[in-house]
Amino acid sequence: MKKSELLALIEEGENLYTEFKRQFSSHEKIAKELIAFTNTKGGKIIIGVDDDRSIYGVASEKSEAELIKETAEKFCEPPIDFSISYFSVDHKEIVVVEVPESLQKPHRLQDYKSELETSSAEVYVRVNDKSVLASKEMIRVLRATSGNTKLTKYAVGNFEKAVFSFLEKEETISVKQLSEMLNISERRASRTLVKMVRAQLLFIHTKENGEDYFTSAV
């Protein structure tokens, strides 16, 4: 990244791909940002810049780099890849952490469990300019996407037909709506919608409050 590109990012403000941090806050908070970026489309954490784009700089580039390294390796599971760049802006030192999109999704906050538990894992994704907790459905979709387990042979049954009929009238559908419409458990409704995403029949979307909804992909 060139300095001119950094200045352009700062001018643009926070968004899906960019997060500002005035200073390193805590391992857990930075881990959530790293996890959200790597579970989504990747992005950059710019340390030394406040939310309002004011430039404060950092006290020590080396200390910030060491804290980021420790966070990525010890507070994220699996550990997250990243790269760090340093810039001087208005005689203040800025640290830029670049996080690529992962091929090992989903990453989660370190819980010291041997396997990912959908019901308890703290998995984060990026939504607009925020990092939000992923739903169980999103975790399942991330895991299926990472494992390249797209459903190639998938029979469309009555539940799926009901989803398509609903989406002909409404733009979106949720797990709760499908559950109530078909009088089935939310678990079964969730499983149906996730399978439809894996079969590339639906898209899954996450709101800033962490709630998911689904739209037609066909």
* pLDDT given at position 147: 64
Return d(Cα 204, Cα 158) in angstroms, integer: 20
Question: Is it the case that residue 78 has pLDDT exceeding 80?
Answer: yes
Q: Is residue 86 within 8 Å of residue 95, measured between CB atoms?
A: yes
* pLDDT given at position 218: 78
Convert the pLDDT of each residue in 82-131 to its tens digit: 999 999 999 999 999 999 999 999 999 999 999 999 889 999 999 999 99
CATH architecture of structural domain 142-216: Orthogonal Bundle (1.10)
Average pLDDT over residues 25-42: 95
Q: Write down the domain spans for the chain.
A: 3-131, 142-216
- Using CA of residue 175, residue 179, residue 185, residue 190, what is the dihedral sign? negative
Return d(Cα 103, Cα 80) in angstroms, integer: 10
* pLDDT given at position 149: 60
**Global pTM?**
0.88
Question: Is it the case that residue 63 has pLDDT exceeding 90?
Answer: yes
Return d(Cα 145, Cα 149) in angstroms, integer: 6
Convert the pLDDT of each residue in 129-157 to its tens digit: 999 999 999 999 998 877 666 666 778 89
What dotted CATH number matches 3-131?
3.30.950.30
DSSP string, 19-74: EEESS---HHHHHHHHHHHHHTT-EEEEETB-TT--B---S-HHHHHHHHHHHHHH
Q: Is residue 39 within 8 Å of residue 142, measured between CB atoms?
A: yes
In three-state form (DSSP H/G/I as H, E/B as E, the rest C), the secondary structure along 105-173 is CCCEECCCCCCCCCCCCCCEEEECCEEEECCHHHHHHHHHHHCCCCCCCCCCCHHHHHHHHHHHHCCCE
List the Cα angle 12/208/149 in 5-degree steps.
Answer: 100
